[in-house]
A and B are shown apart, each in its own frame.
Chain A
Amino acid sequence: MKAALIVAGWIAAPVLYMALFPDSLVLASQILLMGLFALSLDLLVGYAGVASLGHAVFFGIGAYGAGLLAANGWGEPLSALVLTMLVAAIFALPVGLLVVRGGSLGRLMITLGIATLVSEAANRASGITGGADGLQGMDVWPLLGLFSYDLQGRTGFVYAWIVLTLGFLAVRSIVASPFGLSLQAIRENPVRAAALGTPVRARLTFAFVLSAALAGAAGAVMAQTTQVVALNSLGVHLSADVLVMLLIGGVGRLYGGLIGAAIFMVVHHWLSDLDPVYWQIWIGLILIGAALAAPDGILGAIEKLRSRKQVAW
């Protein structure tokens, strides 16, 4: 019964949204894709316990991958999506092997360094990436050869929604698998996990690769629906933003990334509309407040309230 309701909700929500808010579908698609991006990071941070300040590298590979394909005559979106996910995964393999060796702080630093390195490389390789001007000249073909991208963003919205749903189902099934259980065990106690026969680094590297492929998917669809790719889609700034979104929502709970992305993007959008110059101050204050008041995110705070209520009763 509950499951049927959830399924109905997943299907009804986008239809309802399109009917009610036909004018804000572009922002909504971006929220969905950032949600997918944050969800991919949740697999890594929340379940495997590997914190990363460089996850935008894989989002950016997805975006540039899809963008470059579309700008060079391969505009078919679905095959491009699969291909860029594969590229992100392949690139993630050596990076993952390096990252999982460190401790918690060391991993943050290595991923930060790699993100800076990659964004500098993309900036320098302006012949390919368009450098600071962004990638120009994308020509994305209609989805399935049928649905072209309208100005209102309806096709893009539905596309983003479907990819997010598939990504969500994938992550949910991964974390519920024996592999996912072993990731949680490693997160809790890597030494004991090894003492019980778990190849810790190999498992974490695989988690890194899966997470990178999903981040790549988010980036690819973002590029295909907005038809532009800018340098900021792969740097430290976006990496920090997506981590912050996940932390605001709450790690290790699947929905945390989605909620955090929605809140962050809406607040960001609203503040920068309201106050185009000083919105950063407000975002900063909100993050500081969140770190002090709800270090486990919104979902963590709700859980805490609930358990407190139960005790009171």
Chain B
Amino acid sequence: MLAQFIGVVLDGIAYASLLFLISVGLSVTMGLMQFANLAHGAFAMAGGYMCVYAMQALGLSYLAALPIAFLFSMVLGVILERLLYRRLYSASHLAQVLFTVGLLYLSMGLAVLLFGPGAQAIHLPPFLQGQIAMFGTQLSVFRAFTIIFVLIVALGLAFVVRWTRFGARIRCSVDNRAAAIGIGIDVDKVMTYAFALGSGLAGVGGALGVQLMGLDPSFPLKYLAYFLLIVVVGGAGSFIGPLFAALVVGVVDTAGRYYAPVLGSFTMYFLMIALLLIFPHGLVGRAR
């Protein structure tokens, strides 16, 4: 009973790690620019497909495909941010919605064009297959790998945000954009770098997610509400907030599907909306 519960929680944490990895970039860019970006999931999907392509067509190993997914989504992010996104930073939220919905549909169409409408699968290398016994329950090696991987990335990110000059610039720009510009921070550049990093992380998340979240052309729309709710409930612009929110989503969604399968994801959505109403500015956010 307890072992089973621990198993569910661990599965939930693995799921949460992926959701966090994908959403954290969205949090920074939404916090920086107040941009209504509905197309963020497309960068995760791009990473997922790149990973599949690198392994199947180029014959690369899984561990080599992950950084390629990161780089691919990052480059894609830089190009789109420079060419398109930045034209709409000062536009209304409605124009931003129109633009990002267009991007969303475009990405889904391209995915069908290049990879067909079906779901993708990858073969994990042998050392990531199988189960390990833990706390009297079984955890798949891949989930453990995911959790550890994201933990390392999160610690790295925390270090960057907390201790580096770039991190200080991001925090400053999110806190008060006008003041940041006033003291000579090139907020546009900060935005490009943050967007690049965020897209890249989403790409790795998408690549890891092929196994745990599935990958097909509807991915960015299917998980749209997940990513946005995590960011908004966590508090846009923050780093810790989306981590908490992702944990809530991951664990509650997994537990909900396990213990109350009739309700599906309903439990999780319900909880997220309740949290959003109780904390309208996010768990760690502030009024603006």
A–B contact via C-beta, under 8 angstroms: yes
Contact of B93 among A105, A288, A290 (CB under 8 A): A105
Contact of A113 among B38, B96, B107, B229 (CB under 8 A): B229
The answer to whether A285 has its CB under 8 Å from any CB of chain B is: yes
Q: B36 and A105: CB pair below 8 A?
A: yes
Q: A284 and B269: CB pair below 8 A?
A: no
The answer to whether A280 has its CB under 8 Å from any CB of chain B is: yes
Q: A113 and B225: CB pair below 8 A?
A: yes
Q: B95 and A295: CB pair below 8 A?
A: yes
> From residue B79, how far is it (CB to closest CB) to chain A in Å?
14
Closest to A114 in B: B273
A244 to B39, CA, bound (A): 14
What chain B residues lie within 8 Å of A18 (beta carbons)? none
Closest to B91 in A: A295
A residues contacting the other copy or chain, number (CB 8 A)? 47
Q: A288 and B95: CB pair below 8 A?
A: no
- The verdict on A284 contacting B276 (CB below 8 Å), with A51-B97, A112-B225, A116-B269 known, is no
A45 to B95, CA, bound (A): 12
What chain B residues lie within 8 Å of A120 (beta carbons)? 264-266, 269
Contact of B266 among A103, A117, A290 (CB under 8 A): A117
Q: B94 and A124: CB pair below 8 A?
A: no
The answer to whether B1 has its CB under 8 Å from any CB of chain A is: no
> From residue B225, how far is it (CB to closest CB) to chain A in Å?
4
A284 to B101, CA, bound (A): 7
The answer to whether A240 has its CB under 8 Å from any CB of chain B is: yes
Contact of A286 among B102, B224, B263, B288 (CB under 8 A): B102
- The verdict on A295 contacting B269 (CB below 8 Å), with A105-B34, A247-B97, A288-B103 known, is no
What chain B residues lie within 8 Å of A101 (beta carbons)? 277, 280
A110 to B225, CA, bound (A): 10
Q: B101 and A244: CB pair below 8 A?
A: yes
Contact of A116 among B36, B103, B225 (CB under 8 A): B225
The answer to whether A73 has its CB under 8 Å from any CB of chain B is: no
The answer to whether B108 has its CB under 8 Å from any CB of chain A is: yes
Q: B277 and A284: CB pair below 8 A?
A: no
A105 to B104, CA, bound (A): 18
The answer to whether B152 has its CB under 8 Å from any CB of chain A is: no
Closest to A124 in B: B264
Q: A117 and B273: CB pair below 8 A?
A: yes
What chain A residues lie within 8 Å of B272 (beta carbons)? 113
Residues 260-288 of B, flagged 1 when their CB comes within 8 A of A and 0 if not, give: 00111110011011001100100000001
The answer to whether A236 has its CB under 8 Å from any CB of chain B is: yes
A14 to B236, CA, bound (A): 49
The answer to whether B232 has its CB under 8 Å from any CB of chain A is: yes
What chain B residues lie within 8 Å of A103 (beta carbons)? 288
Q: A110 and B276: CB pair below 8 A?
A: yes
Closest to A292 in B: B87
Q: B270 and A117: CB pair below 8 A?
A: yes
Q: A121 and B102: CB pair below 8 A?
A: no
Q: A248 and B98: CB pair below 8 A?
A: yes
Give the residues from 236 to 255 in chain A that come closer than 8 angstroms, CB to CB, to chain B: 236-237, 240, 243-244, 247-248, 251
> From residue B92, how far is it (CB to closest CB) to chain A in Å?
7
Q: A124 and B262: CB pair below 8 A?
A: yes
Q: B107 and A284: CB pair below 8 A?
A: yes
> From residue A66, how far is it (CB to closest CB) to chain B in Å?
24
What chain A residues lie within 8 Å of B263 (beta carbons)? 124
What chain B residues lie within 8 Å of A45 (beta carbons)? 94
Which of B10-18, B109-117, B123-131 lies at the interface with chain A? B109-117
Q: A113 and B273: CB pair below 8 A?
A: yes
What chain A residues lie within 8 Å of B95 (beta carbons)? 247, 291, 295
The answer to whether A221 has its CB under 8 Å from any CB of chain B is: no
Closest to A290 in B: B98
Closest to A295 in B: B95
A277 to B110, CA, bound (A): 10
Q: B98 and A285: CB pair below 8 A?
A: no
Q: B36 and A284: CB pair below 8 A?
A: no
Give the residues from 272 to 313 in chain A that come closer than 8 angstroms, CB to CB, to chain B: 277-292, 295
The answer to whether B106 has its CB under 8 Å from any CB of chain A is: yes
The answer to whether B215 has its CB under 8 Å from any CB of chain A is: no
Contact of B84 among A109, A110, A112, A292 (CB under 8 A): A292
Contact of A284 among B105, B229, B236, B262 (CB under 8 A): B105
The answer to whether B228 has its CB under 8 Å from any CB of chain A is: yes
Q: B93 and A240: CB pair below 8 A?
A: no
The answer to whether A106 has its CB under 8 Å from any CB of chain B is: yes
- The verdict on A244 contacting B98 (CB below 8 Å), with A112-B225, A120-B266, A237-B221 known, is yes
Q: A284 and B225: CB pair below 8 A?
A: no
Q: 26 A-B Cβ contacts within 8 A? A: A51-B94, A53-B97, A104-B93, A106-B280, A108-B93, A109-B232, A110-B276, A112-B228, A113-B273, A116-B225, A116-B269, A120-B264, A120-B266, A123-B264, A240-B101, A244-B102, A248-B98, A277-B113, A277-B117, A280-B105, A284-B102, A284-B104, A284-B107, A285-B102, A291-B96, A295-B94
* Chain A residues within 8 Å of B, Cβ to Cβ: 45, 51, 53, 98, 101-106, 108-110, 112-114, 116-117, 120-121, 123-124, 236-237, 240, 243-244, 247-248, 251, 277-292, 295
Closest 4 CB pairs of A and B: A287-B102, A284-B106, A280-B109, A281-B109
